[in-house]
């Protein structure tokens, strides 16, 4: 199995390209509480590894109370699941975070919010990320994208890939921050360079559409391909994006894309 190159993830400043290559990409066995929330969340969001747009969730049947709360912002809830799958259960704060997950799973958003607030204020990047989601979705707190952006930014500045992705998503759509495609692309790339599949998907879409960057089909092809191969959930959206893009590309562009993908893997995977 290919593994991302590992390094130091404790930087407290906005990462640069060199710092990203040293960031520790953490993949660990989900806790019992995290495993319990996977099925109901998947039941609502389906294939919401979206092309940078949200859509209506599938029919709401057989869902837990926690899952019902997810309908407010299905794509960002999907991100919450993705982060849960990579939750660092070996960290000192994992027991406290596990309680927050259990509270969230049973629909006790007040205690979940309290737990993640404590972790976030202690400087825990994962806690900051999940707290951002609570504000973004308005769970036991008024929906506040600006506050969500603050906590995503705090998490992202520590090199947490899901925080970087979420911050990029807010910049792309102008939620809680001024819409800024260049900033969105920057944070997506930070997350992508740590191996986050959905970040590669969104970077690819921005290159395909020329958002915040000159249009580049070869780069978009490379990113979609990486999104497919690195995904630990459902890569269906990236597959569709890639298939649609290929129809617009020349053989030379396709060859260049494959070369770019090989170079990225050589630099980031071992």
Query: CATH homologous superfamily of domain 30-193?
Result: Tetratricopeptide repeat domain (1.25.40.10)
The two structure tokens encoding residue 163? 């925080």
Domain boundaries, the chain: 30-193, 195-270
pLDDT tens track, the chain, 270 positions: 444 443 333 333 344 434 333 333 332 223 333 333 332 222 222 333 345 533 222 222 333 333 323 333 445 555 555 555 455 544 545 677 888 888 888 889 999 999 999 999 999 998 999 999 999 989 888 999 999 999 999 999 999 999 999 999 999 999 999 999 999 999 999 999 999 999 999 999 999 999 999 999 999 999 999 999 998 777 889 999 999 999 999 999 999 999 999 999 999 887
The reported pTM is 0.71
């Amino acid at each position: 199995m290919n593994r991302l190159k590992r390094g130091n993830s404790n930087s407290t400043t906005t990462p640069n390209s060199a710092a990203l290559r040293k960031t520790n990409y953490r993949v660990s066995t989900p806790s019992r509480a995290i495993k319990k929330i996977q099925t109901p969340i998947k039941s609502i969001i389906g294939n919401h590894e979206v092309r940078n747009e949200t859509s209506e969730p599938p029919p709401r049947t057989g869902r837990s109370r926690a899952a019902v709360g997810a309908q407010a912002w299905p794509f960002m809830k999907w991100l919450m699941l993705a982060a849960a799958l990579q939750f660092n259960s070996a960290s000192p704060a994992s027991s406290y975070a596990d309680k927050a997950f259990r509270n969230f799973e049973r629909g006790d958003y007040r205690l979940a919010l309290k737990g993640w607030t404590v972790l976030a204020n202690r400087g825990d990047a994962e806690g900051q990320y999940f707290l951002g989601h609570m504000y973004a979705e308005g769970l036991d707190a008024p929906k506040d994208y600006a506050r969500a952006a603050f906590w995503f930014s705090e998490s992202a500045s520590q090199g947490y890939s899901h925080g970087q992705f979420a911050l990029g998503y807010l910049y792309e759509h102008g939620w809680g921050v001024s819409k800024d495609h260049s900033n969105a692309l920057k944070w997506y790339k930070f997350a992508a360079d740590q191996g986050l599949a959905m970040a590669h998907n969104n970077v690819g879409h921005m290159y395909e559409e020329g958002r915040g960057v000159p249009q580049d089909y070869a780069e978009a092809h490379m990113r979609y391909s990486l999104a497919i191969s690195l995904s630990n959930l459902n890569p269906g959206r990236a597959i569709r994006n890639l298939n649609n893009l290929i129809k617009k590309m020349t053989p030379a562009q396709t060859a260049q894309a494959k070369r770019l993908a090989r170079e990225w893997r050589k630099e980031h995977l071992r």
